[in-house]
Amino acid sequence: INAEYMGGIMSTVLSLLWIIHIFVYNITKYDGFLNSAFVELNGVFSFLGVVAYAIFTFYLLWATVKGVLKVGMRLLFFEVHPMKVGDTLMNSFLFNCALILIVSVSVTQFAAQSFRVYAAATAVDSLFVTYIESLKGVGYAFRYFQYALLGVVIVSLLPLVLCRRRGED
């Protein structure tokens, strides 16, 4: 088994665990799921929970950046700012960098909301969860952000599975 297949298997497992966690914890508040797993891992060895938290958060950030670079602001039938190896304009590069910077704050906020039990009483929890949810209008939108995220996951998964071209990375 080569590294590409192992990366695909690990990415599939992490993606499925993220989707299950969003349903079980973020939407239904039924169980802590990954939060409970991180707390249990801290009980085994104090650094294991932090490593697992970092793996899930960095994977979400990596998948988001990969999606931004792959899509390149694709609107219906044309691309606005494509990222192509050896053929990327400077304004496209700067646009995609700005988009990644904006998205990274959203990923951090989403991770803080998703792992609220594990990261309780931290600066990230106070800033992104407590203070932002208290803002009028903005807090209401952040509570329902995960529904839009699941919709984007489903909508983007269908073309990737059905329309995969050979030679793409």
pLDDT, tens only, 114-155: 999 999 889 998 888 788 888 888 877 877 877 887 888 788
What is the per-residue pLDDT for 164?
Answer: 63
Question: Are the CB atoms for 92 and 86 separated by under 8 Å?
Answer: no
**Torsion 127-125-51-148 (CA) sign:** negative
Which of the four pLDDT bands, split at 50, 70 and 90, describes residue 1?
confident
CA 117 to chain centre: 18
Mean pLDDT of the chain: 86
Which residue's structure tokens are 């998703």? Answer: 114
Exposure of 96 by Cβ count < 10 A (0-12 exposed, 13-18 middle, 19+ buried)? Answer: buried
What is the per-residue pLDDT for 48?
Answer: 95
pLDDT, tens only, 75-126: 667 777 778 888 888 888 888 888 889 888 888 989 998 999 999 889 998 8
